[in-house]
A and B are shown apart, each in its own frame.
Chain A
Amino acid sequence: MKKENDPGKPDAGHETAHQSRQKYGMVIDLDKCTGCGTCMVACAAENNVAVRADQTDKERTITWMNLYKITNGKKFPHTEVSYFPRPCMHCDHHPPCVSVCVASATKLDFNTGIVSQIYTRCIGCRYCQAACPYGARYFNWWDVFPQDKGMDRYLSPDVSPRMRGVVEKCTFCHHRLMRAKSQAYAEDRRELEEREYVTACTEACPVEAITFGDLNNPKHRVSQLIKHPYAFRLLERLGTEPKVYYLSSRDWVRKLADNFLPGEYEPVVNRTWAADEWSTKPGRDEF
């Protein structure tokens, strides 16, 4: 009998142009990101993320997509600012949170590369939160969708709201994948088109800083973008193999994405974004 967490072998009759294992991932262009926060709002609305009347306690609010503001630490007029959207990295190699989960409530799906969370299985021990270096996991400290208050009318019917006392995280809008798959199945297609399944944040970004797709599929733009010399990942040297990539032409931004010993960081180019306006040049994305 095939077990649910089998690594998933390719089906014999499944003929695709690329490897049968999909590996959904994201590329976020930090040079384009304006820090408007639309991704956060879209994510919260799409995924029924709990919002309380008072959201000031930032260590206990839930933001699957979190936006960090980083600066190069220099004084005016040399100050530069960048915004750093941080969804779950959906680590591809031995995700730190998966192996520690006591109740098998979180899994890395080998067929899609998505790290899932089963809310009704989670016991709320929070070991996964302790193990995640990105702070991408959030605990439900409160009951946020009280019944009989009319809050349920604002909920998306595709995503289950979470109960108090469980951990939740970005799922790469997994329900959208399910929906796209159902549509493809109804149309007797075996493969999804590139834009057919994208996350809410990808769709909402007004400057199209976020690109989403199958990293294993050479036809998808993400699979080319990650080969860009400006591409990097957050805390890459820890070995978690994140499937979220970032692009930035600015060295200080790339340098802030990981820890480096003195002299370890090798700049890609020595010119900064301010100097050559690389990111605004047409044709950059056609790399």
Chain B
Amino acid sequence: MGWQRKILRVDLSAGTAVAEPLNMEWANAYLGERGLASKYLWENMDPAADAMGPDNVLIFATGPLTGTMSSTSGRYAVVTKGPLTNAIACSNSGGKFGAELKYAGYDLLLIHGRAPTPVYLHIVDDRVEIRSAQALWGQTVWDTEGWLKSHHQDTRLKVASIGVAGERGVYYACVVNDLHRAAGRSGVGAVMGSKNLKAIAVRGNLGVQVDQPERFMAAVRDTHKMLAESAGRKELTECGTDAMIDSMQAFGGLPTRNFQEVQFEGADKLNPEAMTEVRPNGHRNLLTNKACFGCTIACGRIAHIDKTHFTIVNRPQYWHASGGLEYETAFAFGPVVGVDDIDALTFAGYLMNEHGMDPISFGVTLAAAMELYELGVITDADTDGVALNFGNAEALTVMAEKTGKYEGFGQILGLGSKRMCERYGRPELSMSVKGQEFAGYDSRALQGMGLGYATSNRGACHLRHDAFAEDMEDQSGAGKAKPIKVSQDKTAMIDSTGLCLFTSAAWDVPEFQRQIDAACEGDWPESRLWEIGERIWNLERRFNLAAGLTAADDTLPPRMLEDPAPSGTAEGKVCQLDRMLPEYYELRGWTRDGLPSHETLQRLGLEESKA
């Protein structure tokens, strides 16, 4: 138990939906969610296939703890080959959709092929229908969810869908569920769009059982208590992830104006105090905090925009509350594009959710466009007459909307920073790895972050490792390989449980182990969980190598490697990737060319896998 032991395989080309038993051998070796979906992806497609073609497979995956009473048990992952990176893409999301999919009886949902015309899936337990989405094509995420609930007369329907950005192939389009939670990164929404799949609407009535209920409930009680008492959890509840903005500003790791600088003069207009400040007219950005399914942290922000603000003054359809700023959105619409207008940032966040786009990739792509504009490489003639200067709040919101609707210069921004900068002959201005944009941490100040970005299997990402403490203590490149490797394996394991990475504010491997061991059949010692994490990392690596990536893709833009940080604690430093990377390969048991060695594959049981 823990697992439902059933998956749903949908072939949109053939118009079929068939349930089949979960491969328990794979579940035992890869756990669930990220790991198990990566295994299914590996076994079900050619990694060299076109990410936007019908041969790509799109997988929605829950974990063995999804839908249980473990804190943060609402997670699901979307795993596919990503168009932004042409590497394996794995984006996970909270909200309530994942648990509902599990309650409908499925551990995984595999989507093959491409529907001849737009469709959506309607799943109620064993009843699965592929229905026409003609009425929904061209609609926003928000309108799609409303239409589906109304059409099926079911307010408790849970919906994951794409907006026009996903339909039209914006390379970083995401899958949004529950209005403002998203499988955000790597363009998984564009893959969904390429399959002519507008939405998945699901209701589950079957529930989830665990293997040893009494042991499980004891583990739940204790782990809930640990979270409740943890200072890190308290900060997430009170400030959300946005608390990070003050520490990154002070540290000098807050990427500003396309990573030309590492500190932003407007940071205090975007921090948690700014979100809770009551203005002279009585407006306060933050309304409340909100939890995802099962979550006892509730880091999610619910905000609203001042009705007199230029962005919405004449648009009452946006006068309602919705998802507010988190650290990454604050970074991506703030420092990196030089904007300090919190209402404009909040509105840009609304637009990302409404149209289904990754705010990080959008913001960093816009930042690159702003640098191109200020350098004179592009002009008003390219940008539909919008002055793309750093700091222009109107440019931020106008371009967010144009990209979401796939109009004008938004179509160029929709390429992502790598393709856009190549198009204008300035590839070095794209702040990305493997085509995916950096998150809000500068790798000159946080050296291990640089190694993490360079080696992340889904392209630059801050959530594929966790070495913040080590990075803030020691700014040399020495000894970084180990904490990065270890935390990459741990993160891969946590991402495969069905729980949220943020629980690691209070929990470590023993806490996950206790819950997995009670929920799942068999013995789950910590050593087994560590091995699963490492196995997942190496399988993802193999997928990427088979897709055509090489060690040459494990690098950073020249700005990180050659231009010293202009201020902050790392002033004068560059990222010492050349020092860290060989040590990392060796520690991983990979060759100097970044290939997992025969011994490593054998040790992890990966050798028998598809060649």
Are A and B genuine complex partners?
Answer: no
> What residues of chain A have their CB less than 8 Å away from a CB belonging to chain B?
none
> What residues of chain B have their CB less than 8 Å away from a CB belonging to chain A?
none
